[in-house]
Amino acid sequence: MTKQEKNTRPEELEHAITSEDVLGKDVIDPRGTFIGVTDKLLLNPDTMEVLGISVDKGFLKKGLVIGVGHIRQVTPHAVLLATTPASQIRGMSVFCSDGTKAGTVEAVVLEESSNQIQYLEVRTGTFGNTIQIPPGAIEYIESNVMLNTSPEELKIVLQQLK
């Protein structure tokens, strides 16, 4: 369908949100953490479809681009995300299913050009040892990373990956 073929109905325009409704709003992840402030609306130049937003994370911090599929809702006060940006996971504690601490997230390695986790690099102790946690071992990510395996099962999973 070309631009000329798609006509916007007046009732669609009445309920549309404007760039003013999005720009300058706080961006909040599902945990309630402030991520930054929207500074750009990203559009496909051919279809004018909204692709996502650009987020300013503050002075001397690298900005972030968030695709529209990761946005849950735009409210009058904030843009609420459906997923936690991978950049926010670094530094979180990692726990096994029995509550044992497995370590701390040192790095998040993503699939190319996506927010999908390829693996978490987790520091396991004070000697700088790290392990790679595959996404299949992750139960959920909230204020910490919770694994769906016990410490013994985790060792087996990690051995199978070698």
Tell me whether residue 147 is exposed, middle or buried, using C-beta atoms within 10 angstroms of its C-beta: 0 to 12, 13 to 18, 19 or more.
buried
For residue 147, the model assigns a pLDDT of 92
Q: Of 57, 85, 113, which residue sits at a domain end?
A: 85
Torsion of Cα atoms, 151 then 155 then 157 then 160, to 10°: -170
Quote the number of domains for the chain: 2
For residue 161, the model assigns a pLDDT of 65
Is there a single domain that holds both residue 95 and residue 43? no
Torsions phi, psi for 13 (to 5 deg): -65, -35
Q: Of 64, 85, 106, which residue sits at a domain end?
A: 85
Is there a single domain that holds both residue 75 and residue 95? no
Distance from the Cα of residue 100 to its chain's centroid? 25
In a domain, 107, yes or no: yes
In a domain, 155, yes or no: yes
In a domain, 5, yes or no: no
Question: CATH number of the domain that 139 lies in?
Answer: 2.30.30.240
Is there a single domain that holds both residue 39 and residue 104? no
For residue 85, the model assigns a pLDDT of 82
Is there a single domain that holds both residue 68 and residue 95? no
Is there a single domain that holds both residue 58 and residue 41? yes
Is there a single domain that holds both residue 97 and residue 45? no
Is there a single domain that holds both residue 104 and residue 68? no
**What's the one-letter identity of residue 83?**
T
Strand boundaries in 7-157, DSSP class E? 26-28, 34-43, 50-56, 64-67, 71-74, 78-81, 93-95, 101-110, 117-123, 130-133, 138-141, 145-147
Q: Which residues of the chain have pLDDT under 50?
A: 1-2, 4
In a domain, 147, yes or no: yes
| Number of helices followed by number of strands (H, E) in the chain | 3, 12
Residue-range definition of the domain harbouring residue 110: 89-161
Q: Of 85, 100, 129, which residue sits at a domain end?
A: 85
In a domain, 2, yes or no: no
